[in-house]
Amino acid sequence: MIDEMTELILDNKPLSVELKQKAQKMLAEFKANLKHSLKDADQYRKNANVEDYDFNNYSNAIRDVSANMTIRTNSKPENWVFELSDARYSLTYGLGFIKKEK
């Protein structure tokens, strides 16, 4: 979803009203998914093994993105690109450790 938002923004400058609304809807959905993922991670953490390597990397990546996601859905999508790129990097980096262990 991060790549889709970034492409939508970069490939359609300036954004029409319709595309701006689409981007804002995508961001709202992404943030809602992120919130649900954090909630699920908190629930899982209660029962997880402290040494659960995959979960810890997943949880840390999600928490990093959540902590740094300051984009407001009613702001200009053109200003989101840097923060979306940072979120993509955090997720790719954190989840990359899981793939390497498998």
The answer to whether the CB of 28 falls within 8 A of the CB of 5 is no
The mean pLDDT value of the chain amounts to: 86
pLDDT number for residue 92: 87
pLDDT at 45 over 60: yes
pLDDT at 32 over 80: yes
Q: What is the pLDDT of residues 59-97, one digit of tens each?
A: 888 888 888 889 998 899 999 999 999 999 988 887 776
Angle of helix 17-45 versus helix 53-68 axis, rounded to 10: 140
pTM (predicted TM-score) = 0.81
* Helix and strand counts by DSSP (H, E) for the chain: 4, 0
pLDDT number for residue 101: 53
